[in-house]
Amino acid sequence: MRKRNLRLIVVGVVLLGAAGLFFLAMMGMTPRSNDPVALMRTVGQVSGAVGGLSLAMIIIDLVGKKVPTG
């Protein structure tokens, strides 16, 4: 039997949503930037890192931790 940590799954989902919202919010600021390409490159790297971390948290916690029997 495996035990799941639902708090970490919820945090992973919230982080994934925050990364998406951050990316979309920064797209609105791109036209006012002096260097929109560099801005979106940085925003994409940050959003990708946070999104990847959150997906890893979700996957690892969906698999769960093995509970010793006996």
Supply the pLDDT for residue 67. Answer: 80
- CA-based nearest residue to 22, from 4, 34, 40: 40
pLDDT band, very low/low/confident/very high, at 64 (cuts 50, 70, 90): confident
In which band, very low, low, confident or very high, does the pLDDT at 69 lie, cut at 50, 70 and 90?
A: confident
Is residue 36 over pLDDT 70?
yes
Task: Take residue 10 and report the two structure tokens written for it.
Answer: 């919820």
* CA separation for the pair 9, 45 (Å, rounded): 23
- Using an 8 Å Cβ cutoff, are 3 and 69 in contact? no
Question: Which of these, 67, 18, 70, lies nearest to 47 by C-alpha position?
Answer: 18
Band (pLDDT 50/70/90 cuts) for residue 2 is confident
Q: Which residue type sits at 7?
A: R
